[in-house]
Amino acid sequence: MKATIKIYDTLRAKKVDFEPLKDGKVGIYVCGPTVYDSAHLGHGRSAVSFDLIRRYFIYRGYQVNYVSNYTDIDDKMIDRAKKDGITVEELSKRVIPIYARDYGNLGVMIPDVQPRATVYVPEMVELIKRLEKDGFTYVLDDGVYYEIGKFKEYGKLSKQKLEDLKVGARIQVKDNKKSPYDFVLWKFKKEGEPFWPSPWGDGRPGWHIECSAMTWKNLGERFDIHGGGLDLTFPHHECEIAQSEPVFGKGSFAKYWLHNGFINVDNEKMSKSLGNFFTLKEIFEKYDPKVVRFMFLQTHYRNPVNFSNVLLDQAKAGLARLHDFVRTINNLLELAEDGDVSKNLEAAIKVAQANFEAAMDDDFDTSGGLGAVFEFVKEINVMMSRAKLNRQELAYVLDFLAMVDKVLGVVFVEVAKLDTDVEHLIVEREKARKSRDFKRSDEIRDELLKKGIVLEDTPQGTIWKRT
């Protein structure tokens, strides 16, 4: 029997016990980026949030089918392609590798399926035909529209009533629509724009219909979790429900809805219009991507991240402590002798694992999960200050960290090997210390420091760190 994971479901507006549609399996769809420009911090926040969620389901023994798309046709794509003097297809081929690179640097696992919207146009046409048959559509001079007045539950996800809504930037204003909130399903072609054939005339799909088609073909009419940024709740996810339920039946589509919080800068939502916009590439030029991932994990995925260099510096310092600990354990492992694992260490790992899982089972609380890891590190440091840990105990510590890092993805880094001359100096210094030649020992320590190597003499032996 699998542990109970509690998740905050946006639709129900509360935490609920996660109960998969199929025992031991989880189908997840996360709205991916529109690939007209480079990945920014908001993209990274969402990608890391749902990567963490995916990883934890795997940790808990679930078989996960994770789908996240690329939107490679919409108004922004067309406008940018025209500006750059290239085709929309050429633009997507240029930008998609940027996302793959930046997400890879953040440690985000590649989705099991990564559909591009343009591949699923026939399925979009099929959905629109079904909606038309059931009386949910009407045609204007520029395209086929969805009549939201026909779907009585419109607004149930975002908890908004139509009469209380205000037309905003994400709502297309058009005088002859039956309602300002009716949205386009199919846009008739314009000169110089990509187009596909349809029963209503050549054109291209609207944004909302794309995800309904891609979820349907890759996860079925009913699946477990639909995720994305909080800004997608309305209108995008609201419209997806309105499109899908009339076709597949009430209660179809996503069983649970999860949304990650915004990136704020000085307590304002990050946006290009405010001039507080940062791409991942820009951040990676100053900070290691693992630091950025760690920064995201320090805040619960549903809460906003108030981004600043101070926050990144704090994350860098915290992650350095963790990496120093791992490096110390690895160094001591080379010096340690064989032995049995003590009852105290077994108990410490058991408690740490229980605390980590308790936090993560509570709606993927990475802040609490990281707290359990750092408390464990503190306890092991106390143990090592009192007595040497043997080889088996040190390995046991690393095994635990490796287990939780399958979820966190920040604990371990690839450590560059020492130069041969540095290794020889460390060996020579150890000999000098044993022979009580402290003058030579200090000389070697200073020489290594100039090379960026700090030596630390511990009860377990001498270990090294990079400055």
pLDDT, average across residues 299-318: 95
Confidence of residue 280 (pLDDT cuts 50, 70, 90): very high
pLDDT of residue 174: 64
Cα dihedral 429/434/439/443 (nearest 10):
10
pLDDT of residue 167: 45
For domain 314-408, which architecture applies?
A: Up-down Bundle (1.20)
Gap between the Cα atoms of 138 and 128, Å rounded = 11
SS3 235: helix
Provide the β-strand partners of residue 307: 265
Tens of pLDDT, residues 236-273: 999 999 999 999 999 899 999 999 999 998 777 777 66
Kind plus residue range of the DSSP H or E element containing 68: strand 63-68
Q: Do 206 and 236 touch, CB atoms closer than 8 A?
A: no
pLDDT, average across residues 185-213: 97
- Identify the weakest region by mean pLDDT among 165-174, 229-238, 451-460: 165-174
pLDDT of residue 419: 67
Cα dihedral 182/187/192/198 (nearest 10):
180
Global confidence as pTM? 0.88
- CB atoms under 10 Å from CB of 439, counted, come to 9
Gap between the Cα atoms of 253 and 198, Å rounded = 25
The answer, yes or no, to whether residue 459 has pLDDT greater than 70, is: no
Confidence of residue 417 (pLDDT cuts 50, 70, 90): low
End-to-end CA distance of the chain: 47
Per-residue tokens: 396: 């046991």
Q: Which of 420, 418, 419, 463 is nearest to 445 (CA)?
A: 463
Output the CA–CA distances (angstroms, integers) from residue 214 to 45, 92, 99, in the order listed.
23, 18, 19
pLDDT, average across residues 175-191: 92
pLDDT of residue 466: 64
Q: Do 41 and 291 touch, CB atoms closer than 8 A?
A: no
Tens of pLDDT, residues 48-104: 999 999 999 999 999 999 999 999 999 999 999 999 999 999 999 999 999 999 999
Gap between the Cα atoms of 368 and 232, Å rounded = 27
Domain boundaries, the chain: 6-260, 314-408, 420-466
pLDDT of residue 418: 63
Gap between the Cα atoms of 467 and 448, Å rounded = 10
pLDDT of residue 173: 58
Q: Which option is the CATH number for 6-260: 1.10.357.10, 3.40.50.300, 3.40.50.2000, 3.40.50.620? A: 3.40.50.620
The proportion of the chain whose per-residue pLDDT surpasses 70, expressed as a percent, equals 91
Gap between the Cα atoms of 225 and 20, Å rounded = 9
Tens of pLDDT, residues 311-345: 999 999 999 999 999 999 998 998 899 999 999 99
Confidence of residue 458 (pLDDT cuts 50, 70, 90): low
The 3-class SS string of 155-188 reads CCCCCCCHHHCCCCCCCCCCCCCCCCCCEEEEEE
Cis previous bond, 235, omega within 30: yes
pLDDT, average across residues 397-423: 84
Gap between the Cα atoms of 176 and 173, Å rounded = 9
